[in-house]
Amino acid sequence: MLSLNRRPRVIRALAAAFAIPTAVAVLAGCGSSEPATTADGKTVLRYQGTTGQVSAFELAADLGYFSEIALRWEGDTTSGPANIQAAATKQIEFGSAFNGAVVKLVSGGAQVTSVLSSYGADELSYTGYFVRDDSGIASARDLIGKKVGINTLGAHHEFVTREWLHRQGLSEQEIDQVELVVVPPVNTEEALRNRQIDVAALGGVFRETAVERGGIHPLFTDKAIFGEFDYGTYVFRNDYIEQHPAAVRDFVQGTARATRWLQVTPRDEVLARFESIINRRGRNENTQLLKYWRSPGIPVPGAAIAEQELQIWIDWLVRNGDLSEGELSAKDLFTNKDNPYANGTYGPTTGPTGEVIAK
């Protein structure tokens, strides 16, 4: 267990902002019956959120982009694999995770389909794998026998780390000697500075605040490996898609439009909207960290899914012996049929009264 006793003031703020309410998290894991409709006939979609942040679908609801569905928050999560597992087991209706985790879930027998990209790397938002300036670590080979701090196993940070090591020429045997250590995101920077880990995977607010304090630099980044790329998707259970096609269609079109709104709206306006949403939803969250938001992190207009964004991780799992060649095909794991931006002719994004917000 990592000992993390000394915390700078900003780390304490991060810890407070990203703490998961235990009672709520427990409730989110209970019950598997699907909720009824609202009094006005809208289908209720249960979901897990992220403390101190506003997801594109939460923004869509606030912008008035949904007409068939209403959202119901069931608690927060910090793990993509756990989030999509909750969706697969009917604790919530949809979840978001790294595409490699989605592929692994499907390979394990889960009947889910990706319907929209949920996060990625663009010019301003990405994950960096940081080392201390005095670490002496300058290459992949320097990591043999060292520790890399990641948020969870079997997800984005692990896949990207292993892919980078592979591309740098390390053998599988050598890669296995690089120890992956699970550290809560709020503690990762401190673990790096206290020399409890040698590399820290840092993204979003955690990267911004860590870089601001200095003394560290990225050894590599996901953006440098793959370029601007969508890394994760929202998934629904296949039976839910079949039984509630109108609800899924409304979720996709509204969330796609909200993503586009984020891609073209000035940052100050985005932050003001986020702060308003967080304050009104009454979850006792800290809005001080919103200033570190840089961009939506999704480079594709409207978050349409590209086949390669899933196929690359299928190929990775085949190479590592977790899947058989031909066992899965990316085209069978996703659909863009409900995304108004999927055909490349990005129509106008309109507000609740019909005004054009973005094209």
The pLDDT of residue 29 is above 90: no
Residues 221 and 298 in one domain: no
Q: Mean pLDDT throughout 239-246?
A: 97
Any domain includes 13: no
- Of the candidates 193, 226, 259, which is a domain's last residue? 226
Predicted confidence band of residue 278 (pLDDT cuts 50, 70, 90): very high
In the chain, the percentage of residues whose pLDDT exceeds 90 is: 72
In the chain, the percentage of residues whose pLDDT exceeds 70 is: 86
Bridge partners for 120 per DSSP: 230
Residues 115 and 59 in one domain: yes
CATH number of 238's domain:
3.40.190.10
How many Å apart are CA 224 and CA 217, to the nearest integer? Answer: 14
Residues 233 and 93 in one domain: yes
Residues 219 and 246 in one domain: no
Any domain includes 311: yes
**Domain range for 238:** 43-120+229-332
Least confident window among 4-8, 196-200, 237-241: 4-8
Any domain includes 18: no
Predicted confidence band of residue 8 (pLDDT cuts 50, 70, 90): very low
Residues 72 and 199 in one domain: no
How many Å apart are CA 72 and CA 92, to the nearest integer? Answer: 9
Any domain includes 34: no
Residues 64 and 77 in one domain: yes
Residues 310 and 325 in one domain: yes
Least confident window among 65-74, 285-294, 303-312: 285-294
Residues 254 and 310 in one domain: yes
Residues 148 and 222 in one domain: yes
Least confident window among 15-19, 189-193, 206-210, 258-262: 15-19
Predicted confidence band of residue 350 (pLDDT cuts 50, 70, 90): very low
- Of the candidates 183, 209, 226, which is a domain's last residue? 226
Residues 173 and 297 in one domain: no
pTM for the predicted model, two decimal places = 0.81
The pLDDT of residue 4 is above 90: no
Any domain includes 31: no
The pLDDT of residue 345 is above 70: no
Kindly report, residue by residue over 317-333, the tens digit of the pLDDT.
898 888 999 999 999 99
Any domain includes 6: no
- Of the candidates 184, 208, 226, which is a domain's last residue? 226
What local confidence, expressed as pLDDT, does residue 33 receive? 56
> Which of 213, 348, 222 lies closest to 292 in space, CA to CA?
213
Residues 213 and 306 in one domain: no
Residues 83 and 161 in one domain: no
- Overall number of domains in the chain: 2
